[in-house]
A and B are shown apart, each in its own frame.
Chain A
């Protein structure tokens, strides 16, 4: 696919490659919008599953499509697929960093298994307050904490 110049280091790619990438991106965008109109939580509830599974499925599909679109942009529009190993390494570095950072969520995810009294004492924290749907915003300071620990 790639032709390589020797005297000036220019790698010229056929226009068709960019057109195909654009078409793939637009198709994926219509796909993600179409899937978002389908409420999977209703469908899985019909199978007797927890509706939350449908929400998670919807999220997984939307994010998978976003990642595929992102990869198409990086690989073809940003020419990383045809770049040197050093360019590929640098292109991955930021995303690896973000992936590692997302492990911070482990802390929030495991607090219900490992209660930390210091956090319970933080009554101002929104995480430990049940939010009133009709009431004051923000809730008054003496608002009871009803979230079970």
Chain B
């Protein structure tokens, strides 16, 4: 640890004039990011409220409707996201040590794992739902055998929530891939704006862990509904 320290202390970070010291500057950046994430918690939270209300009212129908989802794919996706969170935090770790190569490698690994998540979702999961007419709309439930005995209206609620919540989460994943990709590129090009301080990498990491956090709750709520 002490050797790592000596290494980073060779690179003093610029403290902007409005801050007392580097500690206050870092805290301000991190609190700012958390403020953004509070707004994220708020709007995902409203969707979770809607989910709880309808799950409460239609628990047996939600159970039957959820059998159309494959928990194996859900668990694989959870594993991919947890691993990507790990590679992200390793990216932050190496950003602190200013090991550029390792930062770039970890950020690229994060992007690859996130892309794997999206591929499973958009190639293996969603197209089958369209084929089976499980996507809310005028043709919803025209193959009643796909509903596993759930009431069509309650199943439509379930799949509305499923596509809304996992879709919104997928949008966050896409945004994350773009941001992490851009960050990796900037590290690769040794841009001073990201390499001077570890904070830009840390803030992107906070966003990515938040996306992981949302999925940690979405996974049991949609894939592991008890009978």
Residues of B within 8 A of A13 (CB): 93
Please count the residue pairs between chain A and chain B whose beta carbons lie under 8 angstroms apart in the complex.
173
In the complex, what residue of chain A is closest to B11 when comparing beta carbons? A8
Interface readout for A42-64 with B: 1 if CB under 8 Å, 0 if not?
A: 00000000000011001100110
Which of B35, B48, B224 is within 8 Å of A98, CB to CB?
B48
CB–CB A18/B86 < 8 A: yes
A128 shortest CB reach to chain B, Å: 11
Contacting residues of chain A (23-38) with chain B, CB-CB under 8 angstroms = 25-26, 29, 32-33, 36
CB–CB A66/B220 < 8 A: yes
Report the contact-size class of chain A (Cβ under 8 Å from the partner).
Answer: 35 or more
Which of B9, B48, B82, B226 is within 8 Å of A26, CB to CB?
B82
CB–CB A40/B226 < 8 A: yes
Residues of A within 8 A of B124 (CB): none
B46 shortest CB reach to chain A, Å: 7
Which of A8, A12, A18, A105: most chain B Cβ within 10 A?
A: A8
In the assembled complex, B134 has its CB within 8 A of some CB on chain A: no
Residues of B within 8 A of A19 (CB): 86
Residues of B within 8 A of A126 (CB): 153
In the assembled complex, B189 has its CB within 8 A of some CB on chain A: no
CB–CB B52/A102 < 8 A: yes
CB–CB B38/A87 < 8 A: no
In the assembled complex, A10 has its CB within 8 A of some CB on chain B: yes
In the assembled complex, B117 has its CB within 8 A of some CB on chain A: no
In the complex, what residue of chain B is closest to A102 when comparing beta carbons? B49
The stretch among B24-32, B107-115, B164-172, B176-184 that forms the contact with chain A is: B24-32
CB–CB A18/B93 < 8 A: yes
On chain B, the number of residues with a Cβ less than 8 Å from chain A's Cβ atoms is: 73
Which of B46, B57, B78, B90: most chain A Cβ within 10 A?
A: B78
B210 shortest CB reach to chain A, Å: 8
CB–CB B34/A90 < 8 A: yes
In the assembled complex, B121 has its CB within 8 A of some CB on chain A: no
CB–CB B49/A94 < 8 A: no
CB–CB A104/B49 < 8 A: yes
CB–CB B85/A33 < 8 A: no
CB–CB B5/A70 < 8 A: no
Which of B48, B96, B210, B220: most chain A Cβ within 10 A?
A: B220
Which of B31, B156, B220 is within 8 Å of A137, CB to CB?
B156
In the complex, what residue of chain A is closest to B210 when comparing beta carbons? A78
Interface readout for B46-87 with A: 1 if CB under 8 Å, 0 if not?
A: 101100110011010100000000010001001100110110
Given contacts A33-B224, A66-B217, A138-B153, 15 further A-B contacts (CB under 8 A): A12-B93, A19-B86, A26-B82, A29-B79, A39-B227, A73-B85, A77-B89, A77-B212, A78-B206, A79-B202, A86-B31, A90-B31, A90-B35, A98-B49, A101-B46
Measured CB to CB, the residues of B under 8 A from A are: 1-2, 4-5, 8-9, 11-13, 21-23, 25-27, 30-31, 34-35, 37-42, 45-46, 48-49, 52-53, 56-57, 59, 61, 71, 75, 78-79, 82-83, 85-86, 88-90, 93, 96-97, 140-141, 149, 151-154, 156, 197-198, 202, 205-206, 209-210, 212-213, 216-217, 219-220, 224, 226-227
Closest 9 CB pairs of A and B: A94-B41, A58-B226, A9-B22, A98-B45, A36-B224, A137-B152, A94-B38, A90-B34, A62-B220
